[in-house]
Amino acid sequence: MPKITELLKKPWFLGSLVVLFVGAICWNIPIEKRKYGLSQSGLVTDYTGLLPERVEKVVIAKNRNDLQRIVKKANKNGQKISIAGLQHSQGGHTYYKDGVVLDMRTFNRVLEFNKQEKKIRVEAGATWENVQEAILPYGLALKVTQSQSIFTIGGSLSVNAHGRDIRFGPLAETVKEMTLLTPKGEIKKITRDDPGEWMKYVFGGYGLFGVILDVTLELTEDDLYTIHTQKLKTSEYESYFNRLMKQSNTAMHYARVSVAPSSFLDEMYVIDYNYTGKQAQKTSLKKEQGVRLSKLALDLGRRGGALEDLFWKSQQIYISSLDGKEITRNNAMRSESTFMEYTKPGRVEVLQEFFVPVQAYEDYINELKQVIPMNDKKEDFKVHNITVRYAANDNLTSLNYAKEDMFGLVVLIQHGLKEKEIENATSLIQKWTNLTLKYGGTYYLPYYRYQTKKQFRKSYPKWQKFADEKQKRDPNHVFQNLFYEHYVK
Ligand SMILES: Cc1cc2nc3c(=O)[nH]c(=O)nc-3n(C[C@H](O)[C@H](O)[C@H](O)COP(=O)(O)OP(=O)(O)OC[C@H]3O[C@@H](n4cnc5c(N)ncnc54)[C@H](O)[C@@H]3O)c2cc1C
């Protein structure tokens, strides 16, 4: 039998050891789970846990008559009500001090489905995944969702979410009809041509204009796509995207921008989902894959400096490996999310999103280099990831972030929780917001409220009308949350 010292000289043996070692590390990476939600030691928090608050009670929504009774009672006794889906919003949008929280997660039945007319009526606490499970066997898919399928429909419509589809407009546009429990306690059927314009305020209305009970959504075919990936210079992106829009053989698209020191804001990857003319055949919904490996790569990137360069390279290898592969529309709408969980004590990871008009993109990115550090290895405020999505002009909602065709830059940020660290993060994000405003852009409201009231008002010039409509439709201010208190009140 060869001695161990001899074996150690053999490249194949050393290689196998490295593979075993990396495998053992990956296998043992713990999959974290954030502790957030409706009863953390009597305190309610949302996904970031940044704004713990005591509430009077949490009511599990089961029955529309019970919900109606709660709203009517609150109008009489002055109680405040907030609405919670899966609480992935990050700025206290789902609760209010001493208020009642309606937990919508169990209000999730499919009520009607019509394959021929391609429409589904579903209760608002259902997740996109619930809808996908119901429609996949019939070869149908959603028109617009976020990049993951983990959110509730009510929560998604109340922020008027957007995703990777570049052919359909905002999510609000895909709703044919909804049933609303109004702030005065009436149950109303609302259609698109409703003279009362309820959709305008309820969609993107952050739970302040009543409870969405159910919606009828338009569906489309579960097409089969070929993935195309390509590396680009940031300066080439705008013309690449404009060509993509004209050619019309791409259904979905997003991009990643480098935040690694050696290619900081200069390099990008684009990922397109191109029509094949074929439809999905008996494909199942994909489950989360490679969670530990993705987490290992992201954990490296979280350290900044040369390790962030390594993370960017690993993304390059992964993205290139997708080129030419086929994927169904349903599966392209359910990206992994578990690997992003982050639970280090004393630190937090948050999302922010900045929207800039398509034609301003290149200049904006160049100027952004002056706002955030190129190498954040030694900084407390770290940017791990920027993805870019297209958000088409939205004329339907009152607090609309896409006042024209925009690129949304979704940013994953980490910072410490000491007072000074929060101040520093706030100051940097406010500078970033000012830069965005200078280019005619805006920022997304479901995330933590680092921005000032002045920045909110400049970003959302129709805020006063929004506030007036709130007063008119909910005169007792029954529907409340910390987001409204911070920005609008
Ligand atoms: C990892 C991650 C990825 C994300 N990706 C995207 C993305 O790709 N695109 C995008 O646009 N956004 C994205 N978001 C933001 C996300 O879309 C919003 O936070 C969305 O609100 C989450 O849905 P939810 O069920 O968790 O809603 P919640 O956070 O529970 O609620 C959000 C708002 O909706 C209100 N609400 C909930 N249910 C109802 C109802 N039935 N009736 C009336 N009001 C209601 C709440 O009061 C609250 O104001 C992402 C967030 C995370 C954390």
Closest CA to ligand 1's atom 10: 161
Q: How far, CA to CA in Å, does 107 sit from each of 81, 128, 235, 251, 464?
A: 17, 13, 47, 32, 32
Q: In the beta sheet, which residues pair with residue 103?
A: 60, 84
pLDDT at residue 291, rounded to an integer: 79
Examine residue 176 and state whether it is found in any structural domain, yes or no: no
pLDDT digits (tens, 9 = 90+) for 383-411: 999 999 999 999 999 999 999 999 999 99
pLDDT digits (tens, 9 = 90+) for 446-464: 999 999 999 999 999 999 9
pLDDT digits (tens, 9 = 90+) for 175-211: 999 999 999 999 999 999 999 999 999 999 999 999 9
Say if ligand 1 is within 6 A of residue 446 CB. yes
Closest CA to ligand 1's atom 29: 87
CB neighbours of residue 148 within 10 Å: 18
153 CA closest ligand 1 atom index: 25
Q: How would residue 279 be classed by pLDDT, with cut points 50, 70 and 90?
A: very high
| Cα 378 to ligand 1 centre (Å) | 33
pLDDT at residue 152, rounded to an integer: 98
Find, among 219, 217, 228, the residue nearest to 327 by Cα. 228
What are the start-end ranges of the E strands in 291-381?
Answer: 326-328, 347-357
Say if ligand 1 is within 6 A of residue 145 CB. no
Say if ligand 1 is within 6 A of residue 155 CB. yes
Examine residue 33 and state whether it is found in any structural domain, yes or no: no
Examine residue 55 and state whether it is found in any structural domain, yes or no: no
Examine residue 152 and state whether it is found in any structural domain, yes or no: no
Q: How would residue 340 be classed by pLDDT, with cut points 50, 70 and 90?
A: confident
170 pLDDT higher than 70: yes
Question: Backbone phi, then psi, for 94, in 5-degree steps?
Answer: -110, 10
Instruction: Kindly state the average pLDDT of the residues 368-375.
Output: 96
Q: How would residue 25 be classed by pLDDT, with cut points 50, 70 and 90?
A: low
Q: How far, CA to CA in Å, does 45 sit from each of 38, 60, 480, 481?
A: 7, 17, 15, 12
CB neighbours of residue 64 within 10 Å: 16
Instruction: Domain count for the chain, please give it.
Output: 1
Say if ligand 1 is within 6 A of residue 158 CB. yes
pLDDT at residue 6, rounded to an integer: 77
Which residues, including other chains, have CB under 8 Å from residue 58's CB and lie 6 or more apart?
38, 39, 44, 84, 100, 101, 103
Examine residue 148 and state whether it is found in any structural domain, yes or no: no
Examine residue 99 and state whether it is found in any structural domain, yes or no: no
For residue 284, give its domain range: 224-459
The percent of residues in the chain predicted with pLDDT above 70, rounded, is 96
| Cα 140 to ligand 1 centre (Å) | 23
Examine residue 191 and state whether it is found in any structural domain, yes or no: no
Question: Two tokens at 446?
Answer: 């479901």
pLDDT digits (tens, 9 = 90+) for 286-328: 998 877 888 888 888 888 899 999 999 999 999 999 999 999 9
Examine residue 449 and state whether it is found in any structural domain, yes or no: yes
CB neighbours of residue 112 within 10 Å: 10
Closest CA to ligand 1's atom 14: 146
CA distance 293 to 308: 15
What is the CATH number for 452? 3.40.462
pLDDT digits (tens, 9 = 90+) for 188-197: 999 999 999 9
Q: How would residue 2 be classed by pLDDT, with cut points 50, 70 and 90?
A: low
Closest CA to ligand 1's atom 6: 146
pLDDT digits (tens, 9 = 90+) for 404-445: 999 999 999 999 999 999 999 999 999 999 999 999 999 999
Say if ligand 1 is within 6 A of residue 126 CB. no
Given a contact cutoff of 8 angstroms between Cβ atoms, the answer to whether 251 and 275 are in contact is: yes
Does this model's pTM top 0.85? yes
CA distance 299 to 358: 32
